[in-house]
Amino acid sequence: MPPRPFNTPADFEMLTNIKDSPLFKLINPASIAFFGASNNFGSMGTSQLSSLLELGFEGPVYPIHPKESRVLGLKAYSHVAELPEIPDLAILILPTKIVLDTLIQCGQKGIKHVIIVSGGFQESGDSGSQLQQQLIQTARSFGIRFLGPNCLGIANPHHKLNTTFLPFVGHAGSLGMVSQSGSFITQMFAYLARMGLGFSTAISVGNEADLDMVAGLKYLAVCPHTQVITLYIETIRNPQAFIQVAKAITPHKPIVAYYVGGSESGRQASLSHTGALSGPDALYTGLFRQAGIIRANTIEEMFDISAILDNQARPQGNRVIIQTHSGGPGAVAADACDREGLTLAPLPLSLKQQLTELVPHTGTVGNPIDITFSKDRLAYFSSIPDCLLSDDHYDMLLVYLLMPKQMFARVLRSMDVPEDQIASETSKLMDEVATNFNRISQTHGKPVIGFSFQAQDSSAIKFFQRRNIPVMPSPHRAARAIAAVCRYTAWCKGPHATP
Amino acid sequence: MPPRPFNTPADFEMLTNIKDSPLFKLINPASIAFFGASNNFGSMGTSQLSSLLELGFEGPVYPIHPKESRVLGLKAYSHVAELPEIPDLAILILPTKIVLDTLIQCGQKGIKHVIIVSGGFQESGDSGSQLQQQLIQTARSFGIRFLGPNCLGIANPHHKLNTTFLPFVGHAGSLGMVSQSGSFITQMFAYLARMGLGFSTAISVGNEADLDMVAGLKYLAVCPHTQVITLYIETIRNPQAFIQVAKAITPHKPIVAYYVGGSESGRQASLSHTGALSGPDALYTGLFRQAGIIRANTIEEMFDISAILDNQARPQGNRVIIQTHSGGPGAVAADACDREGLTLAPLPLSLKQQLTELVPHTGTVGNPIDITFSKDRLAYFSSIPDCLLSDDHYDMLLVYLLMPKQMFARVLRSMDVPEDQIASETSKLMDEVATNFNRISQTHGKPVIGFSFQAQDSSAIKFFQRRNIPVMPSPHRAARAIAAVCRYTAWCKGPHATP
């Protein structure tokens, strides 16, 4: 049997209408046939149906079960032929040996979109590969487009759709993802929520027997909810189409990719995971560079970079001014920025003069500017950053956010605020401070990025995230992510980005 | 005026009795005179006294204030001479210009230990340097030993002592720290608590006019609460004593150091922070290597490494077995370990045979071993890791901990546990699982290290931390920290570690 014929003209064509994507109905189905869920919570299928129902999917869901009359409270059908309509999508979480037959039944019913969660195909060796080819041929013969096998499907919170086995956590956001690991979708729900980020649509492509990463990229390129596209890559099966499609996207929508197969151990692990044949690290570096894709060295870096790209102004250069009130974190940030190739230009004299009255004598008017312990603590969040960003010598502000609630409470107490109002007044003050940063960033059209050692989901940090100020969990992570964003912005201005 | 005469014989001598340390009374005072606190919460001194009282320091505290009769509810004294006893320690948070006079008054009272928090000395240029020399001379003439100036003092939660401006959070632990930045003590309280770690004693040395990093090292070397010593370094003012003292410590107590001055920007920031003159990066790399000090590249790495060294068995080699039930995180961990130089030895045939019945056919019995979705979910936490660590081919286990509470709850539901017992039974199950890991680690004398993308302070992760299983927040951070620990263990076995 022939493998999937990659590199057909259709692979290279960009979409103008999102509804033309073969993924559209998969990602935005009106109704779903669900195979493999029961009332036994020890099974994967039941977990996945639970997740779907918990997010509140609004269309009809039809469980197919040979014995049960009801599954998780829904009317169940013993055979797909019995369904009262042709559902937009079928989800198969079944033992490997009955997947093919079920696909045929779906085809006979007239279903055109399928997610095959089941494993045991190409990733399991030769006999699995043959079985996978049979899936492809069967799908072709019925005009079915499918995701997988060996995937978790889709998370599209804007459509209240979550086919993965973990409940969706967080909010519908603007981060698109195509992933060769379902885990890096489902297990990132809570992670992204802590960062104040959320998926627009995340696509688990598994073995990519039919719909692949390129199809996902093309969908996300025209998805109106998606601001940034992230990729978890174990291999690129269709490099020519991948490069051409990515190149068409990156000048106006950033793509951030993490590639895992670069080391020998990573390569072997990928092979047994999704049957992926990885290439040498340097090859992928070149490929990403050619396509204007931002390469992340770790999973956390991929999302750090995305957080800065999501909703923030693009830096016009790589000149950073660091603001702190703690010498140590300021010094570490300076060292980290320097090592990442960012420029820490010294303060021009005129700016120094402006700032002198805002900074106490124990502070340092340099870069970093270290305010230390000042009487007017609110200047740290208003007049000082405003002054810094109005200067032409700086493209962005990196600001240390210690933000302990207790300190704000102590200040309010000193202003004779009654004890029973401290909590609400503290919140009001913090929101004001975060709103100010956002306003300053917008006024000057320059990014403002915070860094802090506080928990990402501490209430103080949340105020900033809600006002679109990304807060990186350490100076090093901030420096690395900023440097990546600066390289991308520079690339966008260069000749390679011109179509 | 001469600078502090470094490299006297006393600098090199190790302590046999902790009470012989000039830091002992500073770190374990029975009573404290407190200068610079008032009833105004906008002042630094008031914040610091608040922190001291909030942790519940048990000895008498005497605020000295020229006007107030009571400060934060304590009887205040207008002059140190009036105190009813000679306190063990005086803490000075005063305007620069009155520090010297106050130090003289302390000397006249007979006080022998002082923390000078005030800034405006060596870090502020020539006139500040002169003032600092006067402090040293005055202290010498009265036989006073002091920390600072330009420091935050001490956090010794075992003695309920916290002289920094942030309230202490967390528990008294076994991590010692000497820091040239007070921030990296006070602002790490909550950070360490999230990791399940805690300071034994942390010493902010500031400008090190008298007591320096070497004195701190010597104290922590004999401190019975301290298992691991961490250092935040902007410069080493006394390199000969530092190397000799560190060399005497590292074979039996690990030292993990972060050095910030290596880049030009880091160097300049250090200079204005604590008047530190840093050296080139390579010099510090060599110096650390010579002394057996583990070098951390970031602040978070310093504490990650410490978490593995704290309470875990030492790995006898660098052969890691990775256990996962999610292919993606397993592949990323393998790639990260490989890049860090760790060995991922393939599974010997005998072990493969043993494991075959524990792993479903969709899983992979390799390294990583990927269990995927198994019927007996508890095997993941008991028989499988036990089997892996009993094999001679592996020195440690790196295990992915997804640990979503909802999944455990779903399993319990499937076992017909009544709804009102799900929460308590979930906790019981999780504690059992964590206890098991600890038991397996102890039985085989090999470290078990978790990694997870969950929040460090999520209740699931807390169960592991409480049972001394460190859980790293990403596969990359786990790999880096493990590799550092392996290098240290190898060094301990080598000829340089022999006294």
**3-state DSSP call for residue A145?**
strand
pLDDT (0 to 100) of residue B496? 76
* Minimal Cβ distance to B474: which of A41, A298, A474: A298
Q: Burial, A328: exposed, middle or buried (Cβ in 10 Å; 0-12, 13-18, 19+)?
A: buried
Distance CA A266, CA A259 (A): 9
Chain B residue at shortest CA distance from A123: B362
Beta strands in A217-335 (DSSP E): 228-233, 255-259, 294-296, 320-324
pLDDT (0 to 100) of residue B209? 96
Distance CA B164, CA B152 (A): 5
* pLDDT(A2) > 50: no
The answer to whether the CB atoms of A373 and B44 lie below 8 A apart is yes
Average pLDDT estimate for A275-304: 89
Contacts of B328 in chain A (CB under 8 A): 179-184, 232, 260, 273
Do B426 and B413 form a contact (C-beta atoms < 8 A)? no
Distance CA A161, CA A151 (A): 15
Task: Give residue for tokens 């972060």.
Answer: B258
A5 band by pLDDT with thresholds 50, 70 and 90: low
Report which of A57, A58, A36, A56 is spatially closest to residue A47, judged by C-alpha positions.
A36
The answer to whether the CB atoms of B260 and A455 lie below 8 A apart is no
Do B161 and B27 form a contact (C-beta atoms < 8 A)? yes
pLDDT (0 to 100) of residue A96? 94
pLDDT (0 to 100) of residue B1? 36
Contacts of A188 in chain B (CB under 8 A): 453
- Least Cα separation, residue A403 to chain B (angstroms): 10
pLDDT (0 to 100) of residue A92? 98
Query: ipTM of the assembly?
Result: 0.93
For B343-352, how does the pLDDT look when each residue is reduced to its tens digit (9 = 90+)? 999 999 999 9
Distance CA B338, CA A81 (A): 51
What interhelical angle do B299-309 and B475-493 show, nearest 10? 60
Could you tell me how many CB contacts below 8 A there are between chain A and chain B? 230
Disruptive mutation site among B233, B273, B302 for chain A (greatest number of A CBs within 10 Å): B273
The answer to whether the CB atoms of B260 and A411 lie below 8 A apart is no
Beta strands in A187-266 (DSSP E): 199-204, 228-233, 255-259
- Least Cα separation, residue B19 to chain A (angstroms): 30
Contacts of A455 in chain B (CB under 8 A): 190, 194, 455-457
The answer to whether the CB atoms of A183 and B329 lie below 8 A apart is yes
Contacts of B183 in chain A (CB under 8 A): 326-329, 402
In percent, the amount of chain B with pLDDT more than 70 equals 96
pLDDT (0 to 100) of residue A499? 53
Chain B residue at shortest CA distance from A38: B414
Contacts of B457 in chain A (CB under 8 A): 455
* Minimal Cβ distance to B260: which of A331, A411, A453: A331
Distance CA B163, CA B464 (A): 31
For A424-452, how does the pLDDT look when each residue is reduced to its tens digit (9 = 90+)? 888 888 899 999 999 999 999 999 999 99
Average pLDDT estimate for A366-377: 82
The answer to whether the CB atoms of B337 and A406 lie below 8 A apart is no
Average pLDDT estimate for A296-306: 97
Contacts of A204 in chain B (CB under 8 A): none
- Least Cα separation, residue A354 to chain B (angstroms): 20
Disruptive mutation site among A267, A268, A340, A417 for chain B (greatest number of B CBs within 10 Å): A268
Q: B347: Cβ–Cβ under 8 A, 6 or more apart, which residues?
A: B321, B355, B365, B366, B367, B369, B393
A1 band by pLDDT with thresholds 50, 70 and 90: very low
The answer to whether the CB atoms of A266 and B331 lie below 8 A apart is yes
Taken as a whole, chain A contains a residue count of: 499
Report which of B374, B377, B378 is spatially closest to residue B364, judged by C-alpha positions.
B374
* pLDDT(A204) > 70: yes
For A210-231, how does the pLDDT look when each residue is reduced to its tens digit (9 = 90+)? 999 999 999 999 999 999 999 9
Contacts of B339 in chain A (CB under 8 A): 262-263
Distance CA B165, CA B180 (A): 16
Q: What is the CA angle A369-A370-A373, rounded to 5?
A: 145
The larger pLDDT score, comparing residue B173 to residue A457, is at B173
- Least Cα separation, residue A406 to chain B (angstroms): 8
Contacts of B456 in chain A (CB under 8 A): 455
Q: Tokens in use for B211?
A: 């007591």
**3-state DSSP call for residue A329?**
helix
Q: In Å, what is the CA distance from B362 to each residue of A95, A119, A199, B358?
A: 10, 6, 28, 12
Burial per residue of B360-394, b for 16 or more beta-carbon CB atoms within 10 angstroms, e otherwise:
eebbbbbbbbbbbbbeebebbbbbbbbbbbebebb
* Minimal Cβ distance to A299: which of B194, B299, B474: B474
Q: Which of A280-289, B297-306, B383-392 has the lowest mean pLDDT?
A: A280-289
A 10 A CB-CB count for A81 gives 10
Chain B residue at shortest CA distance from A404: B166
Chain A residue at shortest CA distance from B38: A414
- Least Cα separation, residue A337 to chain B (angstroms): 8
Backbone angles phi, psi at B336, to 5 degrees: -65, -40
- Least Cα separation, residue A184 to chain B (angstroms): 7
Q: Which of A353-357, A406-410, B323-327 has the lowest mean pLDDT?
A: A406-410
**3-state DSSP call for residue A471?**
strand
Q: What is the mean pLDDT of chain A?
A: 92
| Strand partners of residue A322 | A398
Burial per residue of A440-471, b for 16 or more beta-carbon CB atoms within 10 angstroms, e otherwise:
bbeebebbbbbbbbbbbbbebbbbbbebbbbb
For B45-69, how does the pLDDT look when each residue is reduced to its tens digit (9 = 90+)? 999 999 999 999 999 999 999 999 9
The answer to whether the CB atoms of B334 and A269 lie below 8 A apart is yes
* pLDDT(B3) > 80: no
Distance CA A314, CA A487 (A): 11
Disruptive mutation site among A258, A265, A359, A410 for chain B (greatest number of B CBs within 10 Å): A265
Report which of A260, A237, A36 is spatially closest to residue A122, judged by C-alpha positions.
A237
* pLDDT(B118) > 90: yes
| Strand partners of residue A396 | A320
Contacts of B275 in chain A (CB under 8 A): none
For residues B475, B477, B479, B481, the Cα torsion angle rounded to the nearest 10 degrees is -150
- Least Cα separation, residue B61 to chain A (angstroms): 21
Task: Assign 3-class secondary structure to chain B.
Answer: CCCCCCCCHHHHCCCCCHHHCCCHHHHCCCCEEEECCCCCCCCHHHHHHHHHHHCCCCCCEEEECCCCCEECCEECECCHHHCCCCCCEEEECCCHHHHHHHHHHHHHHCCCEEEECCCCCHHHCHHHHHHHHHHHHHHHHHCCEEECCCCCEEEEHHHCEECCCCCCCCCCCCEEEEECCCHHHHCCHHHHHHHCCCEEEEEECCCCCCCCHHHHHHHHHHCCCCCEEEEEECCCCCHHHHHHHHHHHCCCCCEEEEECCCCHHHHHHHHHHHCCCCCCHHHHHHHHHHHCCEEECCHHHHHHHHHHHCCCCCCCCCEEEEEECCHHHHHHHHHHHHHCCCECCCCCHHHHHHHHCCCCCCCECCCCEECCCCCCHHHHHCHHHHHHHCCCCCCEEEEECCCCHHHHHHHHHHCCCCHHHHHHHHHHHHHHHHHHHHHHHHHHCCCEEEECCCCCCCHHHHHHHHCCCCEECCHHHHHHHHHHHHHHHHHHHCHHHCC
Average pLDDT estimate for A323-350: 94
The answer to whether the CB atoms of A414 and B300 lie below 8 A apart is no
Average pLDDT estimate for A300-310: 97
The answer to whether the CB atoms of A406 and B167 lie below 8 A apart is yes
B2 band by pLDDT with thresholds 50, 70 and 90: very low
The answer to whether the CB atoms of A364 and B300 lie below 8 A apart is no
pLDDT (0 to 100) of residue A7? 65
The answer to whether the CB atoms of B299 and A332 lie below 8 A apart is yes
Chain B residue at shortest CA distance from A364: B272
In percent, the amount of chain A with pLDDT more than 70 equals 96
Contacts of A462 in chain B (CB under 8 A): none
For B197-241, how does the pLDDT look when each residue is reduced to its tens digit (9 = 90+)? 999 999 999 999 999 999 999 999 999 999 999 999 998 988 889
* Minimal Cβ distance to B273: which of A187, A327, A410: A327
Q: Which of A98-102, B140-144, B355-359, B383-387 has the lowest mean pLDDT?
A: B355-359
Q: Tokens in use for B96?
A: 């620069």
- Least Cα separation, residue B16 to chain A (angstroms): 33
In percent, the amount of chain A with pLDDT more than 90 equals 75
Q: In Å, what is the CA distance from B365 to each residue of B349, B359, B360?
A: 10, 7, 9
Contacts of B459 in chain A (CB under 8 A): none
Contacts of A476 in chain B (CB under 8 A): 297-300
> What's the one-letter identity of residue A452?
S
* Minimal Cβ distance to B331: which of A194, A270, A475: A270
Chain A residue at shortest CA distance from B405: A166
Contacts of B151 in chain A (CB under 8 A): none
Average pLDDT estimate for A300-315: 95
pLDDT (0 to 100) of residue A375? 65
Disruptive mutation site among B178, B319, B342, B362 for chain A (greatest number of A CBs within 10 Å): B362
A74 band by pLDDT with thresholds 50, 70 and 90: very high
Chain B residue at shortest CA distance from A325: B183
* pLDDT(B36) > 70: yes
Q: Burial, B15: exposed, middle or buried (Cβ in 10 Å; 0-12, 13-18, 19+)?
A: middle
The answer to whether the CB atoms of A370 and B272 lie below 8 A apart is yes
Average pLDDT estimate for B249-266: 90
Report which of A319, A434, A439 is spatially closest to residue A386, judged by C-alpha positions.
A439
Distance CA A317, CA A488 (A): 11
Distance CA B458, CA A496 (A): 45
